[in-house]
Amino acid sequence: MTSGLRIEPATDDRFDDVTTMLDPRGRGQVCWCLHWRQPPGLPVDGRRDHLRDLCGRDPAPGLLAYLDEPGRPDDGAVVGWVGLAPRSAASSLQRTRVLPRVEPAAWPTTWAVMCFVVRPGHRRRGIARALLAAAVDHARDHGARVVEGFPVEPEPGRRVPVSAAFVGTVGLFESVGFDRVGETAATSGRLPRWVLRRELPGDPTAAG
């Protein structure tokens, strides 16, 4: 884990910090990291409450990164979020036409990393990488056998626009041991998205 960070599950008692990450301007009409797991018919103004309900369940729907640097004025501040869930809890992902599908029997043990948010002023410090590494552990601890992501491939010599970076980059996932499987029909910010996968059974980094 990146030095000076603490990663915690997004539980109900930390929902104010979830709000800080996902709705910093207090607009209420944001995605709330529910694109793949929003129940059919849920109104836009019901998203916040639905995510709060998910934060009260186990497993948590995401992880939060906090600064852990005693002596700094922002010590303890929340600075990052990663959303993830098993496919069994992601109804839109089960029906997707642009991303690879998985057989229903594997939905509970196939987890998807959905999105990253890192607060301005704290980017390019390894926070997303620390969140992704912790997400793998979180999924493994809750029975995952596979963790997948669908990040973008940056154009050579160019940085990924913030509007597209919420899905992560191929390089980010590869740095945490994911393997590139293939290109998808999906895009983010007009950049192609790839399937990156990490198999967990027999993982040499697993605790034991």
**pLDDT tens profile 83-140:** 999 999 999 999 888 898 899 999 999 999 999 999 998 888 899 999 999 999 999 9
pLDDT digits (tens, 9 = 90+) for 18-68: 999 999 999 878 999 999 999 888 999 999 999 999 999 999 999 999 998
Is residue 142 over pLDDT 80? yes
The pLDDT assigned to 70 comes to 80
98 compared with 69, residue with greater pLDDT: 98
Q: What are the beta bridge partners of residue 198?
A: 147
Q: Rounded CA gap, 186 and 95, in Å?
A: 14
Residue in this structure with the two tokens 């998985």, named with its chain if needed: 102
Would you say domain 5-199 falls under CATH 3.40.630.30?
yes
How far the first Cα of the chain sits from its last, in Å, is 19
- Secondary structure class of 158 (helix, strand, coil): coil
- Secondary structure class of 194 (helix, strand, coil): strand
Read off φ and ψ for residue 153, nearest 5 degrees.
Answer: -105, 115
Is residue 208 over pLDDT 60? no
Q: Where are the domains of the chain?
A: 5-199
Residues 6+ apart with CB under 8 A from 30: 22, 23, 47
Is residue 147 over pLDDT 60? yes
Q: Average of pLDDT values for 177-202? A: 90
Is residue 12 over pLDDT 80? yes
CB atoms within 10 A of CB 147: 28
| E strands in 20-157 | 62-67, 78-86, 110-118, 146-149
Q: Which of 172, 169, 127 is CA-nearest to residue 151?
A: 169
